[in-house]
Amino acid sequence: MVIGLTGKYCSGKSSIAEEFEKRGFYVIEVDKLGHAALNIKKTEIKETFGSIVIINEEVNRRALGKIVFRSSKKRDQLEKIVHPVMVHEVEEILKKHQGKNILIDAAILARMGLHKFCDAVIWVTAPFLKRLDMALYRDNRGVFFALSRMFSQRKLKSNLTKKHVDTYIIDNTGDLNSLSDKVESILKTINSRK
C-alpha cells in the first residue's frame, strides 16, 4: 500500500510520518530528495538564478529560498528544473520497495503529480497559530520567514487529490497521543476499503 501525506508548512506532517514509520511503513521524504536534486541540477540552477545561489560549489538553499519564495514565477522555474528529478527518484524507490507499505511525505504532493502513485492520500491540517508557533520553534528563522512560507502555500488545498484518489483529513489540534490514535483510525479505514 502506498499512502501520500501532504499538508501545509508546519502542520505536523513529520510527526505523522513518524507514526507511520512505527507501524512499519517505509517513508519517502520528498523534501530530502529535493535537496539532492538541487545539486544534480546545479548547473541549470546557476544559469537560471545566478551564481549568488552557489556557495562552495553547492546550491545554497537559503539563498535560493529567498529568491523563489518571493516570486511565484521563480518558484515555478525552480520546480520545472528539480521536480522531474524528484518524481523519477520517487518512482525508483517505489520500484525498489514494491509490495511494502510506503508513505510519500510531500507538501506539494498533487502539484508534483505524486498522488498518482498513491492508494490513498492524507491531508494534515492544523490551526494557523499552532503552525506559526511550530515554524518559529523548529526553523528559528523569524516571523517574516514563517509567514512568507505560509503565504507561498496559500493555494494548497485538501481537495486537489480527491477526484483521483481517496483523501482523508487528519486535524492536528491535539497532542501526540491523539495524533497516534488518528493515524491508527485512518489506517483501519483505508485497510477496510481495500
Query: Which range has the top average pLDDT, 10-14, 59-63, 172-176?
Result: 59-63
The x, y and z cell numbers of residue 121, run together, are 492520500
Q: What is the pLDDT of residue 148?
A: 65
**For position 68, what pLDDT does the model report?**
86
- Summarize the confidence of residues 111-118 as an average pLDDT: 92
Q: For the whole prediction, is pTM greater than 0.75?
A: yes
pLDDT for 145: 67
Contact 120, 166 (CB under 8 A): yes
Q: Return d(Cα 150, Cα 79) in angstroms, integer.
A: 18
Residue 150 has pLDDT above 60, yes or no: no
Contact between residue 78 and residue 64 where contact means Cβ atoms under 8 Å apart: yes
Instruction: Choose among 179, 194, 171: nearest CA to 23.
Output: 179
Point out the least confidently predicted range of 31-35, 36-40, 158-162, 182-186. 158-162
Q: Residue 15: its pLDDT value, please?
A: 87
User: Please, which pLDDT band fits residue 107 given cuts at 50, 70 and 90?
Assistant: confident
User: What amino acid occupies position 4?
Assistant: G
Helix H or strand E encompassing 76: helix 72-96
